[in-house]
């Protein structure tokens, strides 16, 4: 039967593709590492690496073994941590995309801590692309995501409805227009979210469909920075209705929709399909759904 130590050795070899480097990293002798790989290959009657003079290369079966080995090691690590803290806390690594982080995350976590004080959250706010990668590598347990997730290794639960709006300053020629023709956006300067953002991807897809090129003069991961640049009439922005609601209600900026191009979308609760759904994940999902329902009233 494969041991945890063997899995750690295999993962180190798969990451470094050198027996000597894996041995150095794990403070083991190279013969020990070589013997362990040989034992695993005998156990599964399969070559896990192709040998070359300079570097090893994972075989197809080796790549499959690596994926599952990482999951087993990660699960054991979480089991060990959970058992050690079982009487005290439940750890939960939560990711959120930037729009959700700016508008909803704090209230959700506040409600969770009030209802479930034994859950200790570790929060990470990044864009859609980065969080998808972290979910696939088990670096977060659950994430609230605004973008398009197509990977079938990630489970998605609808969380809230949202829409994107074009925003402009009082001095901009488009001020006061509630609905714009897509053609009105041609040759305009845009201040957009960074590449990898769900907000930007959706807007770019719509404009590509309308065959209108986008002239980007600035980009930022900060919605606040985008609004500030728009306020100074440096260009048009595209942000979530939830992000700009306060500014539009105070008449500081104007928001517009695009005729025939409703940029509606959903926020999703996402987690890896193969990730065991823990009690803290279940409780967090419940709090998210209750908080969103209350906010949308």
pLDDT tens-place values along the chain, 297 residues long: 889 999 999 999 999 999 999 999 999 999 999 999 999 999 999 999 998 887 899 999 999 999 999 999 988 888 887 777 665 788 999 999 999 999 999 999 999 999 999 999 999 999 999 999 999 999 999 999 987 888 999 999 999 998 999 999 999 999 999 999 999 999 999 999 999 888 899 899 999 999 999 999 999 999 999 999 999 999 999 999 989 988 999 999 999 999 988 888 889 999 999 888 999 999 999 999 999 999 887
The answer on 230 and 189 residing in a single domain is: yes
Domain with 42, as residue range(s), is: 4-84
Compute φ and ψ for 262, nearest 5 degrees. Answer: -70, 115
Residues 53 and 200 in one domain: no
CATH of the domain at 52: 1.10.10.10
In this structure, are 249 and 273 located in the same domain?
no
- Give the CATH number of the domain where residue 125 resides: 3.40.190.10
Partners of 227 in beta bridges = none
**Do 190 and 154 share a structural domain?**
no
Does residue 101 share a domain with residue 77?
no
Query: What pTM does this model have?
Result: 0.65
* 156 and 289 both lie in a single domain: yes
Final residue belonging to a domain, choices 84, 99, 128: 84
| Same-domain status, 47 and 177 | no
Overall number of domains in the chain:
3
**Same domain? 258 vs 271:** no
Q: Long-range contacts for 27-34 (Cβ within 8 Å, ≥24 apart)?
A: 33/9
Q: Is the dihedral of CA 278, 279, 283, 284 positive or negative?
A: negative
């Amino acid at each position: 039967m494969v041991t945890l130590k063997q899995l750690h050795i295999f993962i180190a070899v798969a990451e470094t593709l050198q027996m000597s480097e894996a041995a150095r990293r794990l403070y083991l002798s190279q013969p020990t590492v070589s013997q362990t790989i040989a034992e695993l290959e005998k156990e599964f009657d399969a070559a896990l690496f192709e040998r070359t003079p300079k570097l090893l290369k994972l075989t197809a079966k080796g790549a499959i073994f690596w994926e599952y080995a990482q999951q087993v090691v990660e699960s054991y690590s979480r089991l060990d941590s959970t058992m050690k803290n079982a009487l005290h806390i439940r750890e939960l690594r939560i990711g959120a995309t930037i729009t959700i982080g700016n508008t909803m995350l704090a209230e959700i976590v506040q409600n969770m801590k009030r209802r479930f004080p034994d859950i200790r959250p570790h929060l990470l706010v990044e864009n859609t692309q980065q969080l998808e990668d972290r979910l696939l590598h088990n670096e977060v347990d659950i994430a609230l995501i605004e973008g398009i997730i197509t990977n079938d290794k990630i489970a998605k639960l609808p969380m809230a409805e949202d829409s994107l709006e074009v925003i402009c300053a009082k001095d901009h020629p488009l001020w006061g227009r509630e609905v714009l023709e897509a053609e009105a956006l041609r040759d305009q300067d845009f201040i957009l979210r960074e590449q990898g953002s769900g907000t930007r991807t959706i807007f770019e897809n719509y404009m590509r469909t309308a065959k209108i090129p986008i002239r980007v003069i600035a980009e930022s991961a900060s919605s606040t920075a985008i609004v500030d640049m728009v306020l100074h009439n440096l260009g048009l922005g595209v942000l979530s209705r939830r992000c700009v609601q306060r500014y539009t209600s105070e008449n500081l900026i104007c928001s517009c929709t695009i005729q025939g191009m409703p940029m509606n979308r959903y926020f999703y609760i996402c987690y890896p399909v193969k990730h065991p759904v823990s009690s803290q994940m279940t409780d967090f999902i419940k709090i998210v759904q209750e908080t969103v329902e209350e906010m949308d009233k």
